Amino acid sequence: MRFSVLGGGRWGCALSLHLCRLGHELMVFDKSHKVVELINSGRHPYMEGLSIPCARASTELREVLDFSDYLVIALPVQAIRSVLEGQSLKGKRLISASKGLEVGTNRRVSEIVKELEPQAEVFCLSGPSFASEVSKGLPTALVLAGENLDELERIRSLISSENFRVYLSTDLIGVELGGALKNVIAIACGMSDGLGFGENARASLMTRGLAEMVRVGLLLGAKRETFYGLSGMGDLFLTASSSQSRNRSFGYLIGQGFSVEEALQRLGQTVEGVHTVKAVYELSKNKGIHAPISWAVYSVVVEGLPPREVALELLRRPPQNPFETV
128 or 325, which is more confident = 128
Which CATH number does the domain housing residue 85 bear? 3.40.50.720
Is residue 134 domain-shared with residue 18, that is, in the same domain? yes
Is residue 120 domain-shared with residue 87, that is, in the same domain? yes
The string of pLDDT tens digits covering residues 102-153 is: 999 999 999 999 999 999 999 999 999 999 999 999 999 999 999 999 999 9
Give the confidence band of 53 by pLDDT, cuts at 50, 70, 90. confident
Instruction: Name the nearest CA neighbour of 75 among 3, 15, 162.
Output: 15
Indicate the residue among 170, 186, 219 that finishes a domain: 170
Is residue 184 domain-shared with residue 57, that is, in the same domain? no
Instruction: Name the nearest CA neighbour of 181 among 209, 207, 203.
Output: 209
Query: Cα–Cα distance between 253 and 262 in angstroms, integer?
Result: 9
Is residue 208 domain-shared with residue 157, that is, in the same domain? no
Is residue 6 domain-shared with residue 149, that is, in the same domain? yes
The string of pLDDT tens digits covering residues 203-223 is: 999 999 999 999 999 999 999
- Distance between first and last Cα of the chain: 43
What pLDDT was estimated at residue 217?
Answer: 97
Indicate the residue among 110, 137, 170 that finishes a domain: 170
Does residue 160 lie in a domain region? Answer: yes
With a cut of 60, say whether residue 322 has pLDDT above it: no
What pLDDT was estimated at residue 48?
Answer: 74
Does residue 26 lie in a domain region? Answer: yes
Does residue 321 lie in a domain region? Answer: no
Is residue 165 domain-shared with residue 190, that is, in the same domain? no
Does residue 68 lie in a domain region? Answer: yes
Is residue 163 domain-shared with residue 183, that is, in the same domain? no
Does residue 110 lie in a domain region? Answer: yes
What pLDDT was estimated at residue 105?
Answer: 97
Q: Mind giving me the DSSP string for 152-219?
A: HHHHHHHH-BTTEEEEEES-HHHHHHHHHHHHHHHHHHHHHHHTT-HHHHHHHHHHHHHHHHHHHHHH
Does residue 322 lie in a domain region? Answer: no
Is residue 10 domain-shared with residue 146, that is, in the same domain? yes
What pLDDT was estimated at residue 278?
Answer: 97
* Sheet arrangement for strand 121-126: 55-58, 25-29, 2-6, 70-73, 93-96, 121-126, 140-145, 164-169
Is residue 203 domain-shared with residue 232, that is, in the same domain? yes
The string of pLDDT tens digits covering residues 72-101 is: 999 999 999 999 999 999 999 999 999 999
Is residue 21 domain-shared with residue 162, that is, in the same domain? yes
Which CATH number does the domain housing residue 208 bear? 1.10.1040.10
Indicate the residue among 153, 170, 187 that finishes a domain: 170
What pLDDT was estimated at residue 269?
Answer: 86
Is residue 233 domain-shared with residue 150, that is, in the same domain? no
Question: Which residues are annotated as catalytic?
Answer: 182
Beta partners for residue 165, in sequence order: 141
The string of pLDDT tens digits covering residues 11-31 is: 999 999 999 999 999 999 999
What pLDDT was estimated at residue 32?
Answer: 95
The string of pLDDT tens digits covering residues 178-207 is: 999 999 999 999 999 999 999 999 999 999
Is residue 146 domain-shared with residue 255, that is, in the same domain? no
Instruction: State percent of the chain over pLDDT 90.
Output: 90
Does residue 323 lie in a domain region? Answer: no
DSSP state of 100: -
Average pLDDT over every residue of 42-58: 86
Q: Are 180 and 99 in contact (CB under 8 A)?
A: yes
322 or 202, which is more confident = 202
What pLDDT was estimated at residue 107?
Answer: 97
With a cut of 80, say whether residue 259 has pLDDT above it: yes
- Number of folded domains that form the chain: 2
Full domain range(s) for residue 114: 2-170
